[in-house]
Amino acid sequence: MKTILIVEDNDKNMKLARDVLQAKGYATLEAVNGLDGVALALQHRPDLILMDIQLPDINGYEATSRIRADAGCAAIPIVAFTASVTVTDRQRITDAGFNGFLGKPIELQSFLATVRQQLGEAAR
């Protein structure tokens, strides 16, 4: 079973992401702030990380940079999970080393398509 770490401080978004992923057979790990997200990533080395950008402590850019700095986590795909959709935001996300982008609110089809693509899974 593949494990996906969700770093998200909004209850509603967390619940929806968790429910959708678990319903599709993924195990989830959850953090509601950046530091816990970094700690869970380093401890568990999940298969994929969904990273909110605006978090109550360190932001998603900083958390991603700290995860990337760990040799064991450097190759884990990290997807920005954010409502920010401007071209500038997307460019910054790409420049920061994220592997992809997931919009909020969650749109089921594209959410799952992105997750599968990042995990290297075929559509099912």
Residues that bind Mg ion (CB under 5 A): 9, 52, 54
User: How near is the Cβ of 122 to Mg ion at its closest, in Å?
Assistant: 31
DSSP state for residue 123 in the 8-state scheme? P
Q: How far is CA 34 from each of CA 22, 49, 66, 78, 102, rounded to the nearest angstrom?
A: 22, 12, 10, 13, 17
User: How near is the Cβ of 8 to Mg ion at its closest, in Å?
Assistant: 6
* CB-nearer residue toward Mg ion: 54 or 94: 54
What single letter denotes the amino acid at residue 79?
V
User: How near is the Cβ of 85 to Mg ion at its closest, in Å?
Assistant: 15
* CB-nearer residue toward Mg ion: 81 or 116: 81
* CB-nearer residue toward Mg ion: 8 or 47: 8
